[in-house]
Amino acid sequence: MNADARRTLFICVHLWFQIFLLLLLVSDLRAAESLRIAWTNNMLTIAAVNLPGKTVTIWYLEAFCRSGSTHRDWKQTTIPHKTELIEADKEGKRLRLRTLVEPSVEVLHDIEAGRDEVDFRMELKNKGDEAVDVQWVQPCMRVDRFTGLKQDDYIQRSFIFTKDGLTALDKSRRIEEALYRGGQVYVPEGINLEDVNPRPISPDKPVNGLIGCFSEDGKYLLAMAWDQTQELFQGVIVCLHNDPRIGGLGAGETKKLHGKVYFLPADPDALLQRYLRDFPKEK
């Protein structure tokens, strides 16, 4: 091999080595920016280096609820349940949980973290010989760190979609009177108003299953959606809910639910397109 050939070979090897290092760097940056998840003591933590506030926690799960709840003491609505961790990978990308709901319901959860979303798959099975009146379940997403706000003002950065499009919760029609004061419930068409959270019910109807908020710096949004929705709820601990609808379980019956938490740039139109892609029944 002459000198020119050796020089050309050296340049090619050096160039390919630089490309290899660049690819490793890009891969590391993507991995650093992707979401990670962990669960302990009924709290699901979502974390990423570029997530405003660094972590988002979800009370997973707060409650399983019976029908007839709107005008009744909350303790008479919630059904005893217990959740345990079945499996968690070392990378913080996947969790499997198991919930037992009295008297006879088993719920299996498969939760996966991606670059900009967390995907939830829930399978509910009534293993008993009688129907169980379990109408909906509550995952409670805390957004204080993400919004940088507190209970008295975080609604100004929180939103749902109504017939008027994206609607900030402080601009929605809000009611004060209810069995329990504080917060606001947004009930989709077709849901019995006697079977929702016993807090003030807004006359504004959500047109899809999205509820979310904008980050303190205005650059990002965080949103939750499920394929079946009992209610969207702005709660009293700087939290937002999409509470997925179960609709009861007959003897031996199995149902499945699918949910997402999105962490995206602050582009509501892009969020809506993503939602319609992931939940095509909403089109």
pLDDT in tens, 128-187: 999 999 999 999 999 999 999 999 999 999 999 999 999 999 999 999 999 999 999 999
Q: Please report the domains of the chain, with CATH numbers, ordered by start residue.
A: 34-282 (2.70.98)
pLDDT in tens, 186-225: 999 999 999 999 999 999 999 999 999 999 999 999 999 9
Give the pLDDT of residue 204: 98
Report the candidate in 36, 28, 29, 32 with the shortest Cα–Cα distance to residue 89: 36
Distances (CA, A) of 92 to 15, 125, 182: 35, 27, 35
Q: How confident is the model at residue 24 (pLDDT cuts 50, 70, 90)?
A: very low
Cis peptide bond N-terminal to 61, omega within 30: yes
Q: Which amino acid is at 227?
A: D
Q: How confident is the model at residue 11 (pLDDT cuts 50, 70, 90)?
A: low
Report the candidate in 273, 264, 18 with the shortest Cα–Cα distance to residue 117: 264
Report the candidate in 212, 214, 241 with the shortest Cα–Cα distance to residue 229: 241
Mean pLDDT across 116-128? 99
Give the distance from CA 126 to its chain's centroid.
Answer: 24
Give the pLDDT of residue 281: 83
DSSP annotation string for 205-246: PPSSS-EEEE-TTSSEEEEEEESSEEEEEE-SSSEEEEEEB-
Strand, helix or coil at 170? helix
Non-local CB neighbours of 268 within 8 Å, separated by 6+ positions: 159, 166, 221
Per cent of the chain over pLDDT 70 is 88
Give the pLDDT of residue 21: 39
Report the chain's C-alpha Rg in angstroms: 22
Give the pLDDT of residue 20: 44
**pLDDT greater than 60 at residue 127:** yes
Q: How confident is the model at residue 14 (pLDDT cuts 50, 70, 90)?
A: low
Q: Which amino acid is at 246?
A: I
pLDDT in tens, 76-90: 999 999 999 999 999
**pLDDT greater than 90 at residue 111:** yes
DSSP annotation string for 109-135: EEEEE-SSEEEEEEEEEE-SSS-B---
**pLDDT greater than 80 at residue 32:** no
Q: Which amino acid is at 230?
A: Q
* Contact between residue 242 and residue 226 where contact means Cβ atoms under 8 Å apart: yes
Burial profile 229-254: b = 16 or more Cβ within 10 angstroms, e = fewer: bbbbbbbeebbbbbbbbbebbeeeee
Mean pLDDT of the chain: 92
Give the pLDDT of residue 40: 98
